[in-house]
Amino acid sequence: MAEAFLSWRRPALSTLIPANPPQLDGRITADFPLALNDGGAAVPFVLTGPQDVLQINPQAVVTRRPTPGSVNVEITHAPYAELAEADLPWRYSPRPNTPAGIQPWVVLIVGETGRELTVASGQVVAAGQLLDEHNLDMAAAWAHVHQIPGHSDIARILASRVVVDAAGTTVSALRQDTDYTVALVPAWLAGAKPTDPPERAWRATGNATKRLPCFDSWSFRTTAEDDDFKRIAERLNPLTAAEEAALAAVKVGLAALALGPVGPGRLTMGGA
């Protein structure tokens, strides 16, 4: 098997979810077909939803990047977490499978420590602007499964906080020389009533400060330096044709050593 990336993974049972699934107490219901000797039967079942998850086992998160406590982190690097169970980001999504992708039920957000994002007692308080810059309409692109030959598959979730600059280019919203906190939070919350289906945890724009459950978190600090790998690479200029010819003429880095036949002789060696 070659190395590959998958846009999502869910338990096989999710294939039984219809396009417009019925709900029972705010949870998806579907039918499991049974083949019997005297015919068949459809057994209804209810799927666990995001509103049923209170915590995530800390051991489920096997990698956190940047490493917790890191300093001098380049702002072009998106924080991410890797999960040992490759289907976990989509397992409790309240949406059926679609070729266009599935919004995960859990996402990563990143914000300035204390000013935009505060974690305490298993919850996170997130500023409205921070949530605006984590548009859940794009959440299906924030997670994927990574298949590596010889290793167990992993799920990876990115904290994709971006803005559009004056030139119309999408760029990172992180700032230099700043403390940031990353938090793993649900993308769906329980409905207003126990019988209501789950609702998206926040809107696409115009959000107010919001308190969310926090399943995992860590912090890092960005670099104060202006240079990063991308900017340094952009300053490199390719050699001109004349420069390439001059370099080839002097054969920089090339060496040749001619060896002829060795004639007979006596080799004297010291020893005890």
- pLDDT the model gives residue 25: 87
> How much is the average pLDDT of 170-180?
92
pLDDT at 194 over 90: no
- pLDDT the model gives residue 146: 98
| Distance of alpha carbon 177 from alpha carbon 257, whole angstroms | 53
Query: Model confidence over 61-74: pLDDT tens digits?
Result: 999 999 999 999 99
Q: Who wins on pLDDT, 77 or 111?
A: 111
Most confident region among 24-28, 56-60, 248-252 by mean pLDDT: 56-60
| Distance of alpha carbon 30 from alpha carbon 96, whole angstroms | 11
- pLDDT the model gives residue 120: 95
Parallel, antiparallel, or unpaired for β 117-120 and 123-126?
Answer: antiparallel
261 contact partners, CB below 8 Å, separation of at least 6: none
Weakest-pLDDT range from 21-35, 55-69, 97-111, 214-228 = 21-35
- pLDDT the model gives residue 69: 98
- pLDDT the model gives residue 79: 97
> How much is the average pLDDT of 9-30?
86
Q: How far is CA 48 from the centre of its chain?
A: 23
- pLDDT the model gives residue 255: 64
pLDDT at 1 over 70: yes
Q: What is the mean pLDDT of the chain?
A: 89
Domain residue ranges of the chain, discontinuous segments joined by +: 4-12+53-221
- Residue 252's pLDDT band (boundaries 50, 70, 90)? low
Answer yes or no: are the C-beta atoms of 32 and 43 closer than 8 Å.
Answer: yes
Most confident region among 47-51, 86-90, 221-225 by mean pLDDT: 86-90
- Residue 271's pLDDT band (boundaries 50, 70, 90)? low
Q: What is the DSSP string of 129-153?
A: HHHHTS-GGGGGGSEEEEE-TTS--
- pLDDT the model gives residue 121: 93
pTM of the model: 0.81
> How much is the average pLDDT of 79-101?
92
- Residue 256's pLDDT band (boundaries 50, 70, 90)? low
